[in-house]
Structure 1
Amino acid sequence: MSCFSRIFKRTRGPQQQNDPWDEDLSGAENITRFSYKELVRATAKFDQSNKIGEGGYGPVYKGTLRDGTAVAVKVLSLQSRQGGREFLSELLTISDVSHKNLVKLHGCCVEGSHKILVYNYLENNSLAQTLLGSRKSGIQFNWNTRVNICIGVAQGLAYLHDGVRPHIVHRDIKASNILLDKDLTPKISDFGLAKLLPADVSHISTRVAGTLGYLAPEYAIRGQVTRKSDVYSFGVLLIEIVSGRCNTDTRLPYEDQILLEKTWTYYDQGELHEIIDSSLGDDLDVDEACRFLKVGLLCTKNVTKRRPDMASVLQMLRGEMDVDSQEITQPDVIRDFRDLKLRSKATSSTLLTSIMARSSPSSSSAGNTTRTSITFTAISDRD
């Protein structure tokens, strides 16, 4: 029997009877339940002209509810292999959290084969499509605007990490998951990969999911998720926002393709300002921009425990904590899937050798044989 045994108490529209999904929605009793018919009407039958994006598990449409509220309707594709699990994860993770820098969940539809999430509609799409996209969006991302976006995302992430219990690790912080409202206030979205981290647990061992380029090396290689994994991803995003370019661009010469590597090279040469977006105008504060870049490098340190937490990141971005006294070291970067595969294989081989060595019988001075017992204390993701 599922540990999720309760159903929604508050509904809108007809409720399906005996839906097995209802048994998996414990903790989401107070979320509005929309009928499929209502969302069909809101999106003009999911017309292609209302399609505003395509997520990892299905399309997203703009819709208008009967009361005039504009919403984003996120539909689980029937072809999505991981979508069911991600749908539940997103719904249960976001249902109880509220912050100005997180998307707002209006409700959902769980009706037959239809699984749909309904969010507030954000007029200016994502950072990936506006600031970093190849097509001009018409939005002026001056320095002041970028500062507010960086601090806003940091605030939202700090809230997830420390403002709720259990803590929430997002696992997929990236430009396409940062949405912007009409005032360009950033909202962290897409909680399909999020994990809850109990206060007494240092990390969770799980299947690796996310986007290469933003993945912390220890997570990508060993599957170990901590809040510092999100910090690494935020560091990459921070440098993207300041530089105005994506973390990876294969059109560039090989040595310039990886933004994090190029940023380190400039820092090491004492020319960090060279990576700043050249399109920024008169309001650019070069010193502040360089400080933000240094924070990005601190967030992407190779040694997990030496990365700052998000509360410290916020203080550094606001100028409340000194950055120059912090030790900045060369970040570790996974360049591509081949690099990831080779390093994962090497790590597995080293671990196996270590276990075999520690488990081998050894003779003591008294001639007794002893054996070392190996215990792994981590939470596994049960797929």
Structure 2
Amino acid sequence: MGPKVKTYTYSELKTATADFSSANLLGEGGFGPVYKGILNDGSVVAVKQLSVESHNGRSQFLTEISTISAVQHWNLVKLHGSCLEGSRRLLVYEYLENKSLDQALFVFSGYLAPEYAMHGHLTSKADVYGFGVVCLEIVSGRPNYDDKLDPKQKYLLPWAWTLYERNRHLELIDPSLSSFNEQEATRMIGVAILCVQTSPALRPTMSRVITMLSGDIEIPVVKTKPSYLTDLDFDDITNDFDDEESMPSENTTMMTTSTTTNTTTTGVDFMSLPIMLSEVIRKGSFREGR
């Protein structure tokens, strides 16, 4: 049983959000809109108004509140309380002035693992896949899909893989960076490529991801192109590279990348956010936000 949360009245939350005014709308997800609210004591909160489709029975809703409140982590938004009046179900969270992680990065475009997108199978390895996409976005400074880019670069994953298999992975780095640690960038890209493998069995666990990002173990590099990239009709970019560059052998299934090289360049710390995110995912702390 988690810590006790406060019970709010619907009238109280309606007043706090100015009758759920569009001017206070912070965002809207699959479970309903979220509004900024100011309570009578002056505290600022975020009020999630659950949609009718997401309504469960009273006992199930209360059980979910207990489960959510039991998850305490400094990377997670704190649940202050809830409201359950008739068919109305609302959750009251702490208000984050700098908004949420998806807005700090890019729109979550939905990072769905192939097995979930095709078959609805949701496991911890689906989170590993999503983590890999986030890592690539952090490194490249761009979203998973960008229609404004050159056709061969629109889709981040096939573009990243093409550069990676030709040992040109550092060309993926955000061009706006004036300097960066090449060792950290190489390590992060290597981990990301592992995480977005087609088969969940080929993806590492999050605990292993942490040790790889930390440099405690070497990073295995899978040379077999993910099937979801070969099966889809992406633009052919194989001729955009120098002819003298040889393709990696299809018979080579695994290599290792050393992490002992000392790189002296300074700039962006690629490791801090991915390690933090991997710790959260490993503990299953993203579940409430789905």
Instruction: Give the aligned partner of residue 222 of structure 2.
Output: 327
**AA aligned opposite 2:84:** V
What percent of counterpart residues are identical?
46
Q: Deviations over 1:269-313 (max 9, x none)?
A: 11101111112234x223212211111111111221121111111
Q: Is the 8 A contact 1:52 1:62 kept in 2?
A: yes
* TM-score normalised by the chain length of structure 2: 0.69
The corresponding residue for 2:55 is: 84
Q: CA deviation at 1:28?
A: 7.5
1:45 shift after superposition: 2.6
Matched, 1:227 2:124: yes
**Match status 1:302 vs 2:273:** no
Q: What is the one-letter code of the residue matched to 2:225? A: Q
Correspondence for 2:7 among 33, 43, 55: 33
Give the 5 Å matches for 1:28-107: 30-78=4-52, 81=53, 83-84=54-55, 88=61, 91=65, 93-107=67-81
**CA-atom RMSD, angstroms?**
3.1
The 1:97–1:130 alpha-carbon spacing in structure 2 relative to 1, beyond 3 Å, is closer
CA contact (8 A) 1:42 1:66 kept: yes
Indicate the residue corresponding to 1:265 in structure 2: 162
Unmatched 5+ stretches in structure 2: 235-290
Larger Rg: 1
Residue type at the aligned position of 1:315: T
Contact kept, 8 Å, 2:55 with 2:87, in 1: the verdict is: no
Count residues in correspondence: 231
Note closer, same or farther for the CA distance 1:293–1:116 as it changes in structure 2 (3 Å cut): same
Change in CA separation of 1:336 and 1:59 when aligned onto 2, cut-off 3 Å: farther
Consecutive unaligned residues of structure 1, counting only runs of 5 or more, are 1-26, 133-174, 177-210, 340-383
Contact map agreement 2:145 2:156 (CA 8 A) in 1: yes
Helix, strand or coil for the counterpart of 2:139? helix
Q: CA deviation at 1:121?
A: 1.0
Contact 1:243 1:275 in 2 (8 A): yes
Matching residue's letter, 2:38: T
**1:244 aligned to which of 136, 141, 147:** 141
Matched residue of 1:106: which SS?
Answer: strand
User: TM (normalized to structure 1)?
Assistant: 0.54
